[in-house]
Amino acid sequence: MEVSVDEWLKNRSEWLLLDVRTPAEYEQGHIPGALNLPLFDNEERARVGTLYVQQSREKAVDEGLRIVGPRLLRYVKRARKMAGGKPICLYCWRGGMRSGSMEWLLATAGMDVRRIGGGYKAYRNHLDELLNEKPWQFIILGGPTGSGKTPILYELQKQGEQIIDFEGLAHHKGSAFGALGQEPQPSTEHFINLVHDELCALDPYKRVWMESESKLIGKVFIPDLLWTKMLTFPIIRINLPPDVRAEHIAKEYGIFETEKLIEPFERIVKRLGMAEKQRAIEALQQNDIRTAVRIALVYYDKAYNKSLEKDWGTPLLSLPIEEDNPTETARLILKELDKLNK
């Protein structure tokens, strides 16, 4: 039985989702929450694909049957164990032969099974449909480096607001120092899937908060359509004093070894300048992280102000904040926003 992406989303908590593509395809990007039950391994998939292109569909099918024939019972046993009695939903790249074959096998073995029509490709296309068809109300939280935007974002969430944490999904904090202490980044493809998954869980009729990121976060990109839409929504800028921001950054990054902090300064030397880079490194070697942070902030503040003017325009609100207190800042933001909406 074929189901749509929307139908799967409605039943996702009740169905086990299985990705029957190769391990390499799954690793590159998959529907969040899916488990991998590959019909072919990476080399087998390439061999079958080559036969399809260079010889014929019949030759490719024959080779596929030769490969999977001895494994049919293994697939059934694995699927039963993975499902634990839950209904199963399958997908491959286009919802075609691989998922269709596995659906037939598991259904023949008595399991409750269906497949996503259009497969992984349909899921990938669903993001643009979701963004275009729903009345999203994004609000952008802005502020120069060290403003503590991510903690404020989570305080807004505690106070009943919806958020998307791009940096958390990307495993990167956006700057040259952003990979420190983070897990390896996903591929851009899978990052987009994670963003898609977050959006599916939100109410498009209520406001959604997100940070004023660059389109590039480390090595991954915010989806084109989402980025374009973000630029059309209001930005609320928070303004903490430079010394307060420097202290925030020093606490956040002071836990890392000196050598790990020196590497990012080497990467921004062209924009920071050789003399300032050397001064920052000397400060780090003397265990004076605050001086190094203030040097970096000169560069990052210039870059942020340029980005604010180019991408975001005039803020809806610009709030002077004296203390690094995410809870109180979140309350102030909501209070001032309510005043505007009255």
CB 256 within 8 A of CB 179: no
Q: How far is CA 273 from CA 88, 289, 304, in A?
A: 57, 18, 18
Quickly count: other Cβ atoms within 10 Å of residue 218's Cβ.
Answer: 20
CB 217 within 8 A of CB 148: no
CB 87 within 8 A of CB 112: yes
Give just the sign of the alpha carbon dihedral 114, 118, 123, 128.
negative
Give just the sign of the alpha carbon dihedral 212, 216, 220, 221.
positive
State the Cα–Cα distance between residues 67 and 50, nearest whole angstrom. Answer: 15
What is the distance of C-alpha 22 from the center of its chain? Answer: 22
Residues with a known catalytic role: 92
Strand intervals (E) in 199-294: 207-211, 216-217, 220-221, 235-239
